Amino acid sequence: MSIKQPSVLPGFGLTFGFTTFFLCAIVLIPLAALVLVATSMTWHDFLRLVLSPRALASYRLSFGASLLAASINLVFGFIIAWTLTRYDFPGRKLIDALIDMPFALPTAVSGIALTTVFAENGWIGRYLEPFGIKVAYTWIGVTVALTLIGMPFAVRSMQPALLEVQRDLEDAAETLGAGRFYVFRRIIFPTVLPALLTGFTLAFARAVGEYGSVIFIAGNLPMKTEITPLLIVIRLEEFDYRGAAALGFVMLVISFVVLLTINLLQGWGRRRLVQAAH
Amino acid sequence: MSITLDQVTKRYQGVPVVNDVSLDIGDGEFFVLLGPSGSGKSTLLRAIAGLAGVDHGRIALHGRDVTHVSPRDRGVGLVFQNYALFRHMTVAENIEFALRVRRMSASERRKRRQELLRLVALEGMDNRLPAQLSGGQQQRVAVARALAHKPEVLLLDEPFGALDAKIREELRRTIRQVQRELGITTVLVTHDQEEAFAMADRIGVMNLGRLLEMDNPHELYSRPATRFVATFLGAANLLLARQTKEGVRFGKTAVNAHPSNPGHGSREHEVVAVVRPEEIEVAPTRETLGAIYLAHGSVEEILFTGALERMRIRMDDEAAAPLSNSNGSAVPLLEVTRTQHEQRAFQVSPGQAVAIGVRRIHILPTPLSSFTACAPSESQVEGLSQHPLLVELATRMKTRISTRVEPCLGIPGAACEAEGAFAGTTVIAAEPDVAQQTQWLLERGADEVLILPPNAPSPQRVLIHWADENVRGATLAVAASVLRHVAAAAIYVGILPDRTPEMQRPHGVRALLDARSEAQEVHGLEMRTELRFGDVASELTRQLAETPGQMLILGVCSATGVAERFGSLLTSARWPVLIVHRAPEVVLS
């Protein structure tokens, strides 16, 4: 399609130019710089840096905890979104507003708060301690922090989809003889599935990039509770810009692969629905 | 009977949206629930489907009480205005949904699906997704889906609302055809009277949560009982007329036309006449009219609509002018439609003076015709005629409020006497001497007197009582008329004297039940009943004082002693009271 084709809205040329410029300046050029710095090393140096045991352990924690946190948010975020959209109860508005709190708090504040609560002598940590469950300064703490900061992303992306599930659809299914669980499984769930995946993706992306809250609760023991972003900061503080760029590059690639996979899954799911019919 | 509703009531936050609806729909009948938006018709349909619980009453399908049965066990098929197709499923999966739930085998499902697709003329569309179909096709799929599990009742909630005119017509025909072929009892909800006429075996008209009338389309159109049905089903001119022994009189001119239905009793009184626009004839002079002469007028506006010509005529005699119209001008205009044939016979241009004749007049059986605000002085009358409740009632009843100054109102034996008859319902303010005023009016021939306290709100409960069995019918008729225009619950209060012996009490209960069934059968009014013991006036006062937002309709058969008997009830009135007065008819031997 040619750009010159008359369009309903004027100003396509201007807005398209602005979009391209903005994306380049804010997203693409800094990312390219990162790649450039990383590629200025020798292949050997690069591999040694990114495959060092400490780096590998940090990837495992960062992506593992992020996936776990996003999964937790998928389930509980759905339940919260469901409760908020389907039921009316006193205090609903208040809870709805509370969801956004992690958005607004500086992440360091959430980190400190979580640490206080989950430390061995904290409000909750003290009761978990006798069972041998340690939250603060372990991978569990990291997961808790990532769950907290990802939660609003999950809830807020699922809420509109749940609001949009027409009551008529459920009513129709019910008059056709379907029970409540059947309606949920066959009607509601497939309808909101794309929104669920979006919520999962956003929560995951947010968790991978998180730094502020985690460093307080993680304890940052090398090989154990050290996340990749922290490792990057450590490299920077050592003025090892290349090392930092190399780690950043790896994060970039893994994140991109995960997000792309989810997107492809989503598209595949849609096509499969169409194909299953043929 | 396929569907039986018995006194079904549904409230939302205390306000009845479906109010005491009783209804029987026969096997294989195509029944249309017609009403404006917010009339409760969709809620009633959802109650039949089981998607909305009811607060009161009973619903039976094929003799089985399903009031507390869940929608999935009711055996109904429901079609929605927005199709409500499952968008992630194909046409085939949508149609087979109910069969899959019932664990029917794949081959049987396929067979049933083919059958249904043929029925709605969508063969070969099995594998499409709803998004790949047009609106009309989607609604056909929805119909097929609703019929898959062979329901005994098919419910359609404004199924054509989202479709354009041509598709709508086509789909109407398909649905009617399918319905006939399967012989399935069907209820369709719509606000479109043309649709109702085109499809219904029987139409039930709803307004304000009440089922006003039901009959076959032709009867409803030609013999409506209420002004709402008269004006909602097609265009209608409502005119105030005076029923006399000789016939009907409009304004100054004695028409002496005999209406299509005989008047009620020999009593001369004001009535509401329905004249359909197509029943009006215009001619150059009175002599050339083929129909009965009504009045002279001048043509205000002519609109050519193809087959028909629509005209608005201003009548010279304003007293005979129509009560309501849609264009909102100060003096309503008479609506006339003429066929091509009539147009050729007599060409008319705007501004032309014409003679107007009527071919057919239908008199509404409603006892409430118009309101006359009455007070001793000009300023009081002005204030009273703007009372919010009165204005609300008059607007809803599409009638007019006239004014009348009576300087001697309420002064017994005053030198000046009322001039002319009191027409319609006379309205007075709740002044301290309201009891005397009421009696004064009743003695001078007022049929209904409405007493309005200042700031009286629209009533939520209407109490009904008659002081004499002779006025039972008239009181019920007035109550039914009032309750058609306010969303309130009706309660008949039967009162027996305190000293009623035990043996006679069953008689009291019997009278109550008789009253209830008469209200239902003759006037289509559903009401509850309560039995009290004690003095009539004080019992009523006590009950009215209990909760705000109540109104009393009180039937009396003689004017004498009204001030004495009900003085306390009227004087302390913080509630509206409507007094219905009918002298017993004198039978001449």
Tens of pLDDT, residues B120-179: 989 888 899 998 999 889 999 999 999 999 999 999 999 988 788 888 898 999 999 999
Tell me the torsion sign for CA atoms A57, A58, A63, A64: positive
Structure tokens at A254: 């893994």
Q: What pLDDT, on a 0 to 100 scale, did the predictor assign at position B326? A: 45
The whole-angstrom distance between B69's CA and the closest CA on chain A is: 11
For residue B462, count other CB atoms closer than 10 A to its CB: 21
Q: CB-based contacts of B88: which residues, under 8 Å, 6+ apart?
A: A190, A191, A273, B129
Instruction: Name which residue leads in pLDDT, A267 or B541.
Output: B541
Highest mean pLDDT, choosing among A131-145, A153-167, B8-22, B175-189: B175-189
Which residue's entry shows tokens 């001619």?
Answer: B283
Residues of chain B neighbouring A184 (CB-CB closer than 8 A): none
Which residue's entry shows tokens 């002279």?
Answer: B296
Mean pLDDT of B2-12: 90
User: Could you read off the pLDDT of A51-69 as tens digits, one per residue?
Assistant: 889 999 999 999 999 999 9
Mean pLDDT of the residues in chain A? 85
Residues of chain B neighbouring A191 (CB-CB closer than 8 A): 87-88
Contact B551, B464 (CB under 8 A): no
Cα–Cα distances in Å, from B436 out to B423, B432, B441? 20, 9, 9
Contact B133, B91 (CB under 8 A): yes
How far is Cα B124 from Cα B136, in angstroms, rounded to an integer? 16
Cα–Cα distances in Å, from B325 out to A238, B280, B365, B395? 88, 16, 21, 11
Is the CB of residue B51 less than 8 Å away from at least one CB of chain A?
A: yes
Task: Please list the alpha-helical segments (H only) found in B214-287.
Answer: 217-222, 227-232
Residues of chain B neighbouring A168 (CB-CB closer than 8 A): 80, 82, 84
User: Could you read off the pLDDT of A86-117 as tens digits, one per residue?
Assistant: 888 888 889 888 888 888 888 888 888 888 88
User: Could you read off the pLDDT of B283-311 as tens digits, one per residue?
Assistant: 998 888 888 888 889 999 899 888 889 99
Binary contact (A171, B71; C-beta < 8 A): yes
Which residue's entry shows tokens 């999964």?
Answer: A71
Rg (CA), chain A: 23
Residues of chain A neighbouring B51 (CB-CB closer than 8 A): 171, 174-175
Percent helix, percent strand, percent coil in chain A, to nearest 5 = 80, 0, 20
State the pTM of this model: 0.79
How far is Cα A230 from Cα A208, in angstroms, rounded to an integer? 11
Question: At residue A67, what are phi and psi to the nearest 5 degrees?
Answer: -65, -45
Residue in B355, B193, B242 with CA at minimum distance from that of residue B289: B355
The whole-angstrom distance between A192's CA and the closest CA on chain B is: 11
Identify any residues that bridge with B405 across adjacent strands, giving them in sequence order. Answer: B375
- Count of residues in chain B: 589
A2 pLDDT above the threshold of 60: no
The whole-angstrom distance between A211's CA and the closest CA on chain B is: 40
User: Could you read off the pLDDT of B79-133 as tens digits, one per residue?
Assistant: 998 889 998 899 999 999 999 999 999 999 999 999 999 999 898 888 999 989 9
pLDDT band at residue A278 under the 50/70/90 scheme: very low
Q: CB-based contacts of B144: which residues, under 8 Å, 6+ apart?
A: B95, B116, B117, B119, B120, B122
Cα–Cα distances in Å, from A66 out to A56, A225, B118, B196, B540? 15, 13, 53, 60, 73
Nearest CA in chain B to A166: B84
Q: What pLDDT, on a 0 to 100 scale, did the predictor assign at position B14? A: 78
| Strand pairing class (B185-190; B3-12) | unpaired
Q: CA-based angle B82:B83:B84, to the nearest 5?
A: 90
Identify any residues that bridge with B250 across adjacent strands, giving them in sequence order. Answer: B253
Structure tokens at A2: 């040619």
Residue in A25, A40, A29, A50 with CA at minimum distance from that of residue A232: A50
Contact A144, A189 (CB under 8 A): no
Q: Kindly list the strands in the beta sheet with B353-358, ordered across the sheet, starting from the edge strand earlier in the chain.
A: B280-283, B353-358, B292-304, B308-315, B334-339
Residue in A138, A135, A109 with CA at minimum distance from that of residue A122: A135
B325 pLDDT above the threshold of 80: no
Residue in B474, B470, B466 with CA at minimum distance from that of residue B587: B470
Contact B255, B294 (CB under 8 A): yes
Mean pLDDT of B556-581: 85
Binary contact (A176, B51; C-beta < 8 A): no
pLDDT band at residue B200 under the 50/70/90 scheme: very high
Residues of chain A neighbouring B49 (CB-CB closer than 8 A): 171, 175
ipTM over 0.90? The verdict is no
Nearest CA in chain B to A278: B127
Residue in B279, B308, B309, B312 with CA at minimum distance from that of residue B294: B279
pLDDT band at residue A80 under the 50/70/90 scheme: very high
Nearest CA in chain A to B155: A175
Going through B76-223 in order, the beta strands assigned E by DSSP cover 76-79, 153-157, 185-190, 202-207, 210-215
Question: At residue B238, what are phi and psi to the nearest 5 degrees?
Answer: -100, 125
Q: What pLDDT, on a 0 to 100 scale, did the predictor assign at position B191? A: 93
How far is Cα B391 from Cα B303, in angstroms, rounded to an integer? 32
For residue B507, count other CB atoms closer than 10 A to its CB: 11
How far is Cα B31 from Cα B200, in angstroms, rounded to an integer? 6
Residue in A62, A25, A36 with CA at minimum distance from that of residue A245: A36
Structure tokens at B548: 């705000």
Nearest CA in chain B to A192: B88
Residues of chain A neighbouring B92 (CB-CB closer than 8 A): 277
Taking CB atoms within 8 Å and a gap of at least 24, the contacts of A265-272 are A265/A197, A266/A194, A266/A197, A269/A193, A269/A194, A270/A194
Going through B408-456 in order, the beta strands assigned E by DSSP cover 425-429, 448-452
Identify any residues that bridge with B578 across adjacent strands, giving them in sequence order. Answer: B450, B553
CB pairs under 8 A between A and B: 73
Instruction: Name which residue leads in pLDDT, A7 or B403.
Output: B403
Mean pLDDT of the residues in chain B? 86
For residue B527, count other CB atoms closer than 10 A to its CB: 22
Residue in B232, B181, B170 with CA at minimum distance from that of residue B203: B232
Q: What pLDDT, on a 0 to 100 scale, did the predictor assign at position A6? A: 56
Q: Kindly list the strands in the beta sheet with B371-375, ordered across the sheet, starting from the edge strand earlier in the chain.
A: B401-405, B371-375, B425-429, B448-452, B577-581, B550-556, B461-466, B489-496, B528-533
Nearest CA in chain A to B71: A175
